[in-house]
């Protein structure tokens, strides 16, 4: 996993926590997601309705995705 490689190199102190949080897959446990959501709400940041828990944004139309060129991170 690319992120874990970066974490291992840059923040090895956080690696055990992240390995525990993501041991079962790509998403943190529901309790952790709720904790983070409460933290974000408390700081005054709100998410658009399309990003609320349990929903996913609609993919853009094919015509929009054909012209998008994303720069590489590496």
pLDDT in tens, the chain (74 residues): 788 999 999 999 999 999 999 999 889 999 999 998 888 887 766 666 656 666 666 666 666 545 556 666 66
Tokens 């409460």, residue located: 38
- pLDDT for position 13: 94
- pLDDT for position 31: 93
Helices (H) then strands (E): counts for the chain: 4, 0
Measured distance CA(19)–CA(37) in Å, rounded: 20
Q: What is the pTM assigned to this prediction?
A: 0.50
DSSP designation for 49: G
- pLDDT for position 51: 63
């Amino acid at each position: 996993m690319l992120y874990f490689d970066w974490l291992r190199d840059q923040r090895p102190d956080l690696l055990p926590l992240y390995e525990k949080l993501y041991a079962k897959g790509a998403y943190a446990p529901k309790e952790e997601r709720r904790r983070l959501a409460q933290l974000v709400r408390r700081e005054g940041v709100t998410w658009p309705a399309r990003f609320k828990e349990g929903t996913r944004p609609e993919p853009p139309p094919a015509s929009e995705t054909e012209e998008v060129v994303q720069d590489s991170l590496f």
